[in-house]
Structures are given as structure tokens and as C-alpha cells.
């Protein structure tokens, strides 16, 4: 199945892209998608403990189920305001 990965701020810089489409084997969780991504771009791994994740623009957990067509976002610690 196909998911769209969204990356922001320094994660986006490290990956060289803010939006990446990837095929992942079903069934998948956010963690599955992350592990595939880190396999491809090892530099992202430093964010595993501090990042937040979202599925379809809603905060989610690493254990959340991901379905075909979903948008999965990985976000470094925020600094708005």
C-alpha cells in the first residue's frame, strides 16, 4: 500500500524533501513507516525519541494503524509563537 510521508523543519532538511511517497507492506503502523524511512535516511533516527507523529493531520501514536492513501507526518519538537 502507498503512504505519503510529510517531514517538517530539520527533518525535512535531513531528508532533502518535505513530501515522500512510499510503498509499505500492509498491515502497517506509523512505526513501520518510520523504520522504512530511517532505513533509507539513517540521519533521521536521532529524532525518534523527541518527535511527534500525525496521521492524516491528527496527532497519533507510533502504534497507530496506517491505511492505504494515508498521510503520515513526522515532526521535530515545535518552536512556534
Partner 1 sequence: MDSGAGLQPGGSPAIPRVAVTADPLDLQALTQEVSRTAAADGAITSFIGLVRDHNQGRRVSYLEYEAYEPLAVRALNLIVEESAGVWPTARLAVHHRIGRLEIGEASIIIVAASPHRAEAFAACRYMIERVKQIVPIWKHEHFEGGDVWLEGATADPADEAARDKARRIACA
Which residue, 17 or 26, has its beta carbon nearer to partner 1?
Answer: 17
- Of the candidates 24, 20, 25, 26, which has an alpha carbon nearest to the alpha carbon of residue 5? 20
Q: Rounded to whole angstroms, how far apart are CA atoms 29 and 55?
A: 10
> Least distance to partner 1 from the beta carbon of 53, Å?
10
DSSP state of 30: H
Which residues form the interface with partner 1 (CB under 8 A)? Answer: 6, 8-10, 12-13, 50-52, 54, 57-59, 73, 75-81
Which residue, 6 or 37, has its beta carbon nearer to partner 1?
Answer: 6
C-alpha cell at 59: 496527532
Which residue, 39 or 69, has its beta carbon nearer to partner 1?
Answer: 69
- Of the candidates 26, 8, 25, which has an alpha carbon nearest to the alpha carbon of residue 72? 8
> Least distance to partner 1 from the beta carbon of 67, Å?
18
Amino acid at each position: 500500500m502507498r503512504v505519503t510521508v510529510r517531514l517538517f523543519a530539520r527533518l525535512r532538511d535531513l531528508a532533502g524533501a518535505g513530501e515522500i511517497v512510499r510503498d509499505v507492506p500492509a498491515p502497517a503502523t506509523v512505526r513501520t513507516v518510520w523504520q522504512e524511512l530511517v532505513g533509507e535516511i539513517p540521519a533521521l533516527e536521532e529524532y525518534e525519541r523527541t518527535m511527534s507523529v500525525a496521521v492524516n493531520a491528527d496527532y497519533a501514536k507510533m502504534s497507530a494503524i496506517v491505511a492505504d492513501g494515508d498521510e503520515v507526518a513526522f515532526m521535530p519538537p515545535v518552536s512556534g509563537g
